[in-house]
Amino acid sequence: MNVGYVRVSTVEQNPDRQLEGLTRRAQLDKLFQDQASAGSTDRPGLDAALSFVRAGDVLHVHSIDRLARNLQDLQGIVQDLNGRGVAIVFNREGLTFEADEKGDPMGRLMLQMMGAFAEFERSLIRERQAEGIARAKAKGVYKGRKRQLTDDQVAEILERKEAGERVAALAREYGVSRTTVYTRLQEVGV
């Protein structure tokens, strides 16, 4: 079977470009998708794809950075798949890793280099983002995330909590977590 895996980082991103690249290369029998950051360990689509593939299958991925969080993760996934008799194809890089005993030394080197570059690029992005936030904070432009509960809502929650209502019920009513309620109550000195 030809199995595809697609991952986009945000809701705004569209997986169509990745899908187009995958379907140009092979007729997919099954497709798995995730909407998650590269650093996220919670990728149910990937977990399902890895559980689904069997010996003789080919897993098609748009590019190396769509599959793994870091070089170690990448190598582990590829070794696991190849060890189970599953080939993996990275379309953008033009790399294929067959499930054979010998392996291709040049292919393995390319996998490690490309994976290292992807990990390095991700680190640079995080660093630039942190620098940008620090500059914005220094200018007074960056205020952080908008509070989920207004001061009036916190005062109302406090009154109701003191009247005996449970925090869990109040949190559900306001559409926030209990941690958010406790954090905001702590900010006002409760």
- pLDDT number for residue 49: 94
- pLDDT number for residue 11: 67
Phi-psi group of 103: left, alpha or beta (phi > 0 → left; psi -120 to 50 → alpha; rest → beta) = left
Tell me whether residue 37 is one of the annotated catalytic residues. Answer: no
* Cα 59 to Cα 44: distance, rounded to the nearest angstrom: 16
Average pLDDT of the residues of the chain: 86
Task: Answer for the pair 69, 38: CB distance below 8 angstroms, yes or no.
Answer: yes
* Cα 178 to Cα 167: distance, rounded to the nearest angstrom: 6
Number of H helices, E strands in the chain: 8, 5
- pLDDT number for residue 147: 82
Instruction: Kindly give the parts of the chain with pLDDT less than 70.
Output: 11-12, 38-40, 100-103
Task: Answer for the pair 2, 60: CB distance below 8 angstroms, yes or no.
Answer: yes
Closest CA to 58 of 94, 93, 96, 32: 96
Measure CA 103 to chain center.
Answer: 29
Greatest alpha-carbon span in the chain: 71
- pLDDT number for residue 102: 59
Q: Provide CB contacts within 8 A for 124, sequence distance 6+.
A: none
Domain 2-121 grouped into CATH 3.40.50.1390: yes
What is the dihedral sign for C-alpha 145, 119, 9, 34?
Answer: negative
Domain ranges, ordered by start, for the chain? 2-121, 151-187
- pLDDT number for residue 143: 78
- pLDDT number for residue 10: 72
